[in-house]
Homo-oligomer: A and B are copies of this chain.
């Protein structure tokens, strides 16, 4: 039996996206968001929604660039902290001891210690209610060599990203392999 829970942002899984940007003075900032995902295959694009009140919103608007950084489980505390304070008042890199690195392709910093980073140029912005959705064209993805599989692509079991759950506001890890896509459903 299904129960109606009303009009709510309930989706499983949602990602833990750490958005990197530079402010007007060139200071690196990061904030954490879970409203986003891949939105196009060609050109490869990723969408992330930010509210206008965030410090990152102004940065991304100004530079038309951002990075998406995926923390492994071991950096989840830092990623959580990035979502609780504003870069207006705090230097989040200094506070955590993590290292900002200028992107090779875009005018935005990535987090050196995180195992997967995505460099994006703003392709378009879309106003949706209280959020602005930034559609970023992916210019490059970089991964730590330690999380790359034999085929040269990231291995999620080595990457160990986190899942965010809306409403219950918790983080979960990745579980066991369930099967190959475009394959297990073949008849």
Which residue numbers of A lie inside 8 Å of B, CB to CB? 1-15, 34-47, 49, 68, 70, 73, 76-84, 95, 104, 112, 116-118, 123-124, 126, 128-131, 133, 135, 137-145, 148-149, 151-157, 159, 161-187
Number of copies: 2
In angstroms, how far is the closest chain B Cβ from the Cβ of A81?
Answer: 3
Contact B177 A171 (CB under 8 A): yes
A-B contact pairs, 30 of them (CB 8 A): A2-B112, A2-B144, A5-B153, A6-B140, A9-B44, A12-B15, A13-B174, A34-B38, A35-B40, A41-B130, A45-B128, A47-B47, A73-B178, A76-B185, A81-B187, A83-B182, A83-B185, A84-B185, A124-B126, A126-B126, A156-B168, A156-B170, A156-B172, A163-B163, A169-B182, A170-B178, A170-B179, A171-B180, A171-B184, A173-B175
